Amino acid sequence: MREVMHFIDGRAVAGTSGRFSDVFNPNTGDVQAKVALATAAEVDLAVQSAARAQVGWAATNPQRRARVMFEFKRLIEANMNDLAELLSSEHGKVVADSKGDIQRGLEVIEFACGIPHALKGEYTEGAGPGIDVYSMRQPIGVGAGITPFNFPAMIPMWMFGVAIACGNAFVLKPSERDPSVPVRLAELMMEAGAPAGVLNVVHGDKTAVDALLDHPVVRGISFVGSSDIANYVYARGAQNGKRVQAMGGAKNHGIVLPDADLDQTVKDLAGAAFGSAGERCMALPVVVPVGEKTAVELRERMIAEIETLKVGVSNDAAAHYGPVVSAAHRDRISGYIQTGVDEGAELVVDGRGFALQGYEKGFFIGPSLFDHVKPGMKSYQDEIFGPVLQMVRAESFEEALTLPSQHQYGNGVAIFTRNGRAAREFASRVEVGMVGVNVPIPVPVAYHTFGGWKRSAFGDTNQHGMEGVKFWTRVKTVTARWPDGDGTGDSAFVIPTMR
């Protein structure tokens, strides 16, 4: 059986722990590979490799680092089809969605290609008599990323793309559920010209995570996953003196005002709620129609739209979405559907029990739709992370605004309306980090930044864009004086001023 190995110091390295995790094909339910789970000693090997490489890499001028990123971008594009098929075979998302996964990561690599400009500091000539002040951005050293299963290409590239371009070396700990694409990305980074050790990949579970959080050489940690683990990563990493950005869960709302274009809105909701089987932190699993008339019409249109959706294997070009990542996750989603029923919500469309002919052992689940969901329900408060859309009816704009603002998560939100004033007020007042106006999945472009509020994010700095550059660099400010004369005198004993 195929073994997915670590990638340390520029080469594949077999695991030594004797512990492995199964890698499934979600379409068939079969185990297709095993992945080694690292020991703390193996994590240390990766970190030490990164530390050795980082010294020379930081000394490489930004333009040359950018050339490596340009070549990495070219190699990703040249290998797009193979990468997408590999990703789909382990994650289950359809190939078109896998290409989107890779492309959104690639857009951050494109941003990183402009790193010479992003790293420019500030300069003040003549801040005082003969005194100039300037600042420079320098890499923090060794960075680490801990990434989830749902975007095995995009999120790693969000992290290591900016970190490496800034002159850091990186250790990536991807999800053990779909580990092959991250390893392939590291191989392509070496092929692009990055020195061995600049990008390492170690697989593992909590043992590997804790080893990274505790390692004295690791200076910064970037994490994406559930909120409970994000909180743990943030607390433990910060306690160990590291910079930490930890992105957590989400329960994104779509607010539908009475003047919305329902034809477009329904299609947007279907894609945002059910695309990638709902396994997105920026999915839209809650829709909030404002007013009874809007709710009744939206409900009927959503039922009709759901009936047109095709669930299929990941390489079926006609399928809207494929299986979820594991049998355990499928069962978890089914459990939340039952919880919603037990709580009194109306299950309008039940996706449980869906089976695809010829793939009965695959991890499939059909789309589900709830109506009359109430804010106090556990199924509403928790992140289901599956193809389940919940309808929470609101009587007014104010009530609709309150729902996402008071929810424990604050990742993303969308409003559907033709009313510019209402959209502007909503965007200004809602207590959520990313807002879409007639955009169902408001993931910012790569030169802006990604990050939520409340329990959706721990730490003070967002992902990618200039926030990413700030996270992966330290500012050093230099105050320089070039006085006239022979340098004698007692001015050295006085605190310098700019008079």
Q: DSSP label at 311?
A: B
Distance CA(313)–CA(361), nearest Å, equals 12
Residue with tokens 């170690």: 202
Distance CA(314)–CA(321), nearest Å, equals 7
Exposure of 391 by Cβ count < 10 A (0-12 exposed, 13-18 middle, 19+ buried)?
A: buried
Distance CA(491)–CA(483), nearest Å, equals 11
Q: DSSP label at 9?
A: T
Residue-wise burial string across 215-250, b where 16 or more C-beta atoms lie within 10 A, e elsewhere = beebbbbbbbbbbebbebbbebbbeeebbbbbbbbb
Known catalytic residue: 281? yes
- H helices, E strands: number in the chain: 16, 23
Residue 306, CB-side half-sphere exposure with 13 Å CA sphere? 21
Task: Quote the strand ranges of 234-303, DSSP E.
Answer: 243-247, 253-256, 286-289
Question: Which of the residues 162, 281, 356, 377 is marked catalytic?
Answer: 281
Q: DSSP label at 444?
A: P
Q: What distance lies between CA 311 and its chain's CA centroid?
A: 25
Distance CA(254)–CA(310), nearest Å, equals 23
DSSP, collapsed to helix, strand or coil, labels residue 143 as strand
Distance CA(61)–CA(94), nearest Å, equals 40
DSSP, collapsed to helix, strand or coil, labels residue 212 as helix
Adjacency order of strands within the sheet including 253-256: 346-349, 368-371, 388-391, 286-289, 253-256, 412-416, 434-437
Residue-wise burial string across 82-100, b where 16 or more C-beta atoms lie within 10 A, e elsewhere = ebbebbbbbbbbbbebbbb
For 365, residues 6+ apart whose C-beta sits below 8 A from its C-beta are 277, 323, 324, 330, 333, 334, 351, 352, 354, 386, 387
Please list the active-site residues.
Answer: 281
